[in-house]
Amino acid sequence: MSSLRTLVFFATPPHHCSYLPDRQATTMFVDPRATIDKRLYSQLTALGFRRSGSHYYRPHCENCNACIPVRLKVEPFEPDRGQRRVMVRNEDLTCTLTPAAFTEDGYRLYARYIEQRHRDGDMYPPSREQFLSFLVEGATDSWFLEMRLDDRLVGLAAVDVLDDGLSAIYTVFDPDLEKRSLGTFAVLWQIEEARRRGLPHLYLGYWIRECRKMNYKTRFRPIEALKDGHWRPLKEA
């Protein structure tokens, strides 16, 4: 079994940055031959790593530290007025956790979301193989939050269970239901699920100050950032 001391890491050559178009990025990956159990995955996440399928990675850019790992402290969180409206707006949804697995309705929702909202991104065009490699493969205590409206799947959030929290991996939703703010609703649901399980954190991935698409993360408070190996309130980091 692998441990932090025995892990081997690899860095990619510089490549186009997906978030800041005028910059080059380098990514550090855990050796894909390593055996990553839940305990080690939790340790890696606390060190700023993320999971994409069976790959565990974090930014490792030489002249840029714009990508900041962030997590929410669950217990003291209280929704603001806008978040409370989102919760009320979606009271008619049925939400269930199912083991992360490929389904046709899940893939169709994913494909519509990518095609209509991320045609300019690295994930376009979508494919079944991409869905599997990104959201299903490498699953370790991994689940899909299914959001249904009258039995119709309208939202799907991939979430991992860690030793000290939940990790919000990715969320897709019906582009025609944008006014429901299903992305925000999925985060609110995961906060409550972490609280129900007695887990202290919800890991929200990376936050980049200059990236408008990530602004929503700072609306969940109290939010912490990983800086110089320590988690501290984002405003201090």
Digit-coded pLDDT (tens) for 33-78 = 999 999 999 999 999 999 999 999 999 999 899 999 999 999 999 9
Kindly state the helix (H) or strand (E) to which residue 142 belongs, with its residue range: strand 142-149
Please tell me the distance from the alpha carbon of residue 193 to that of residue 189, in angstroms, as a whole number.
6
Name the strands in the sheet holding 27-30, side by side, starting at the edge strand that comes first in the sequence.
9-11, 27-30, 55-59, 50-52
Digit-coded pLDDT (tens) for 89-144 = 999 999 999 999 999 999 999 999 999 998 877 888 999 999 999 999 998 899 99
Digit-coded pLDDT (tens) for 151-207 = 999 999 999 999 999 999 999 999 999 999 999 999 999 999 999 999 999 999 999
**Domains of the chain, start order:** 9-65 (no CATH), 71-233 (3.40.630.30)
| pTM for the whole structure | 0.96
Please tell me the distance from the alpha carbon of residue 117 to that of residue 104, in angstroms, as a whole number.
20
